[in-house]
Amino acid sequence: MYKLTHLKELEAESIYVLREVAAQFERPAILFSGGKDSIVVTYLAYKAFYPAKIPFPLLHIDTGHNFQETLDYRDALVKKLDARLVVGSVQESIDKGRVKEEKGYNASRNRLQTTTLLDTIEQYKFDACIGGARRDEEKARAKERFFSHRDEFGQWNPKNQRPELWNIFNGKKNMGEHFRVFPISNWTEMDVWQYIYQEQIEMPSLYFTHERACFERDGQWLAAEPCMTLKPDEKVVVRKVRCRTIGDITCTGLTISEAHNLEDIIEEIAATRVTERGGRADDKRSETSMEDRKKEGYF
């Protein structure tokens, strides 16, 4: 008797969602951060439309605080897929006075990204932005739809979401509104890594253990990069670390790890007792900080 594995079933669902986006929208884009989730989404899009090119550009919101490895990986991938890359720059938003840089030791451009993202969506008239968010990541995301409606202010209204039944998706909208679409909603962190292993997808080196100058703050290891302001008592030391999630340098926690390859990573995640967002300073600002940012139009 034929049995579909959970990875095959999840893959089939995600490819179906990506094809729905291509069929229902005029100007979609993939929100590409250089993290594992958006890499998997891009890979699934490649599979969904082969041998045609991916019918959407990759949209990268660049905080200006990216790891160099992320940018190198992004550019190599764009070249390999012969894809179109659109970059929205947070630095430009700051220079234009659209947003104001946060001050202090914990300053981050994480929240400023929302303005840059919404401005870029408006500039390019994107009507659907495909993201790699997963429902298992965070409790507000657990309530998210595959096709998530955004009003003309880019806002999410969690209390009045469209019911989503079976595999029927409603992407209809008025002028100026757009959708966020999350093809890997039903995947967990473990599913993502098992899939990367199964498909042997090439990953940025940041995910594997490497020696890096870092410092400890509130029990969390952070990269000692020029964009970080150290407190007087914080010391820079070299540690063997890897990233469990990749975002902006200012809010990407590093994990002390000896994981050299995908097998090691899967083993490490199976044994861990902390969620991947446990290392994200941006989620710790309040009990519902993700919901609050999402309402404003965050990823």
Partner 1 sequence: MELLRFTTAGSVDDGKSTLIGRLLYDSKSIFEDQLEAVEQASRNRGNEEVNLALLTDGLRAEREQGITIDVAYRYFATPKRKFIIADTPGHVQYTRNMVTGASTADLAIILIDARNGVVEQTVRHSFIAKLLGIPHITVCVNKMDLIGFSEEKFEAIVRDYREMSAKMNSHAQLHFIPISAKYGDNVVSASDRAPWYQGGTLMELLENISIEHKQGEENQPMRLPVQYVIRPISDKFPDYRAYAGRMAGGVLKVGDKVRVLPSGLESRVKAIMQAEKSLEMAHTPESVSVLLEDDIDISRGDMLVDAQGPQPIVGQQLQMMCCWFNEQPMQLRKRYIVRGPVSETIGMVQAVDYRVDIHTLEPIEGETSLKMNDIAQITVRTAAPLAYDRYEENRNTGALIFIDPDSFETVGAGMIMN
Q: Does 6 participate in binding partner 1 (rule CB under 8 A)?
A: yes
Q: Is 192 in the site for partner 1 (CB under 8 A)?
A: no
When asked if residue 151 is in the footprint of partner 1 (CB under 8 A), the reply is no
Q: Does residue 60 touch partner 1 according to CB under 8 A?
A: no
* 200: alpha, beta or left? (left if phi > 0; alpha if psi -120 to 50): left
Is residue 197 part of the contact set for partner 1 (CB under 8 A)?
no
Question: Does residue number 233 form part of the binding site for partner 1 (CB under 8 A)?
Answer: no
* Contact yes or no for 42/204 (Cβ under 8 A): no
Residue of 189, 212, 213 lying closest to 265 (CA atoms)? 189
Site string for partner 1, 254-293 (x = CB under 8 A): ------------------xxxx--x--------xx--xx-
Q: Which of 96, 125, 172, 260 binds partner 1 (CB under 8 A)?
A: 172
Within 10 A of 8 (CB to CB), how many other CB atoms are there?
A: 12
Which pair of tokens denotes residue 44? 């699934």
In the complex with partner 1, which residue's Cβ is closer, 52 or 235? 52
Distance CA 238, CA 224 (A): 9
User: What is the C-alpha separation between 166 and 20, in angstroms, rounded?
Assistant: 14
The CA dihedral of 220, 221, 227, 232, to the nearest 10 degrees, is 80
Does position 140 bind partner 1 by CB under 8 A? yes
Q: Which of residues 119-138 bind partner 1 (CB under 8 A)?
A: 135-136, 138
Q: Does 23 bind partner 1 (CB under 8 A)?
A: yes
Q: Does 91 bind partner 1 (CB under 8 A)?
A: no
- Does 22 bind partner 1 (CB under 8 A)? Our answer is yes
Q: Which of 51, 97, 104, 232 binds partner 1 (CB under 8 A)?
A: 51
DSSP 156-183: --GGGPPP--TT-------TT-EEEE-T
Pairing of strands 85-89, 58-62: parallel
Q: Does 9 bind partner 1 (CB under 8 A)?
A: yes
84 binds partner 1 per the rule CB under 8 A: no
Nearest to 84 by CA among 62, 50, 103, 57: 57
For the record, the structure tokens of 184 come out as 């890997």
Binding of residue 96 to partner 1 (CB under 8 A): no
Of the residues 26, 97, 103, 159, which one makes contact with partner 1 according to CB under 8 A: 159
Q: What whole-number distance in Å separates Cα of residue 173 and Cα of residue 164?
A: 15
Binding mask 206-225 toward partner 1 (x if CB under 8 A, else -) reads --------------------
Is residue 80 at the binding interface for partner 1, with CB under 8 A as the rule?
Answer: no
Out of 64, 188, 201, 217, the only residue in the binding site for partner 1 (CB under 8 A) is 188
User: To which H or E segment does residue 254 belong?
Assistant: strand 254-256
Residues 221, 23: Cα–Cα separation, whole Å: 44
Selected from 97, 103, 104, 174, the binder of partner 1 by CB under 8 A is 174
Q: Are 281 and 230 in contact (CB under 8 A)?
A: no
Least Cβ distance, residue 262 to partner 1 (angstroms): 17
Written as one letter, the residue type at 100 is K
What does the binding site for partner 1 look like in residue numbers (CB under 8 A)?
1-6, 8-13, 15-16, 19-20, 22-23, 46-53, 135-136, 138-140, 142-143, 158-159, 161-168, 170, 172-174, 185-186, 188, 190-191, 272-275, 278, 287-288, 291-292
